[in-house]
Amino acid sequence: MKTAPLSRRDRLRAQLADLKMPGALEALDSVLASVDAGQGTAADALEALLGAQIALRNQRRLQAAMRSSRLPVVKTLADFDFSFQPSLKRDQLESLHTLGFLERRENVVLLGPPGVGKTHLAISLAIAAAQSGRRVYYGTLGDLITSLEEAQQAGRLTQRLKTLVFPALLVVDEIGYLPISRTGAMLFFHLMSRRYETASTVLTSNKGFEEWGEIFGDEVMAGALIDRLVHHCHIVNIRGNSYRLKNHAELYAVLTPRATPSPTTRRRRINRQEAPTS
Ligand code: ADP
Ligand code: MG
């Protein structure tokens, strides 16, 4: 009789192992201890147990995705400081992170000047998607185009396209930073046409759509690309200041044309910025 509670615990352990739930198995003792101590309801205990398993599964999915998706870093919505970027609607971003747009095969375009968090938010969407078990892939426009051009030259374009068409979420970062060759633009157009209405793409750009003709070297093609992209699309315009320069207010004033002070003030400010602090 004395051993009954222990054997119940052992049975639970065996069941969790049988169901391949190592996260819940690891949390079992502490969850049962808090129940024994009268802390919380049975529902709280179940929630804690299942929550531990889900957390472990998501962490494993993320680790696997970081290996296969080429995501450069981990950035999450929780790390994003909305108070720094008042032009952003927190509700819209939180709603996007619930991933309904992936099910509806819609796109997200993040537009804004450098340093406002476009890459951060694109990555946090990709990470949320990876944690939900979807396949994701990240590349800058330059990287993606180079890989397509190389594949074409090596006679492996079909294979490469398959890799980039297949993921439920493709991030195309940094549209507008580097010039693109005509072949490159055509290959990218082809990729986006293949993904149109079959899988979601998150794109970031420091240039408005009106400048995409120049980026892709062809107004007609850029028009057709934008047409497909925005057909089912969430456009997030970020109009704030660069987070990279947030601790360099004076440097920011120098680098931002809107707030550019007179050359004398500018020189004085730069001198002060560089002056030893001791
Ligand atoms: P962009 O792609 O718009 O040029 P990034 O997303 O690369 O900008 O942001 C630059 C750096 O600042 C990154 O390290 C990013 O995580 C951080 N960052 C940008 N905006 C925020 C924010 N609002 N809260 C927290 N970190 C931010
Ligand atoms: Mg960026």
Res 225 pLDDT > 60: yes
Res 259 pLDDT > 70: no
Q: How far is Cα 40 from Cα 51, in angstroms, rounded to an integer?
A: 15
Q: Summarize pLDDT for 123-169 with one digit per residue, the tens.
A: 999 999 999 999 999 999 999 999 999 999 999 999 999 999 999 99
Q: Residues whose CB is under 5 A from ligand 2 (ion)?
A: 118-119
Q: What's the pLDDT at 65? A: 86
Average pLDDT score over the chain: 88
Measured in Å, residue 76 CA sits from the centre of ligand 1 at: 11
State the Cα torsion 14-17-21-24 to the nearest 10°: 40
82-88, Cβ contacts within 8 angstroms, sequence gap of 24 or more: 84/240, 84/241, 84/243, 84/246, 85/116, 85/117, 85/238, 85/240, 85/243, 86/240, 87/237, 87/238, 87/239, 87/240, 88/117, 88/236, 88/238, 88/240
Measured in Å, residue 224 CA sits from the centre of ligand 2 at: 24
Encoded tokens for 201: 């793409």
Q: Averaged over 231-235, what is the pLDDT?
A: 94
Q: What's the pLDDT at 86? A: 92
Q: Which atom of ligand 1 is nearest to the CA of 121?
A: 6
Q: Averaged over 66-71, what is the pLDDT?
A: 90
Q: What's the pLDDT at 235? A: 96
Give the three-class secondary structure for 140: strand
Q: Summarize pLDDT for 92-122 with one digit per residue, the tens.
A: 999 999 999 999 999 999 999 999 999 999 9
Q: Which atom of ligand 1 is nearest to the CA of 79?
A: 25
Q: What's the pLDDT at 103? A: 97
Measured in Å, residue 250 CA sits from the centre of ligand 1 at: 19
Q: Whose CA is closest to 73, among 126, 109, 115? A: 126
Measured in Å, residue 133 CA sits from the centre of ligand 1 at: 25
Tell if the pTM clears 0.85, that is, is over it.
no
Q: How far is Cα 68 from Cα 129, in angstroms, rounded to an integer?
A: 14
- For ligand 1, atom 23, the nearest C-alpha belongs to 81
Percent of the chain exceeding pLDDT 90 equals 77
Q: What residue ranges line ligand 1, CB within 6 angstroms? A: 75, 79-81, 84-85, 112, 114-120, 204, 243-244
Best residue among 243, 245, 247 to mutate for probing ligand 1, ranked by most atoms within 8 Å of CB: 243
- For ligand 1, atom 7, the nearest C-alpha belongs to 119
Res 270 pLDDT > 50: no
Q: What's the pLDDT at 250? A: 65
Q: Summarize pLDDT for 171-221 with one digit per residue, the tens.
A: 999 999 888 999 999 999 999 999 999 999 999 999 999 999 999 999 999
Which residues, in sequence order, are CB contacts of 135 under 8 Å at separation 6+?
A: 65, 68, 69, 166, 167, 168, 169
Confidence of residue 249 (pLDDT cuts 50, 70, 90): low
Q: Which atom of ligand 1 is nearest to the CA of 84?
A: 23
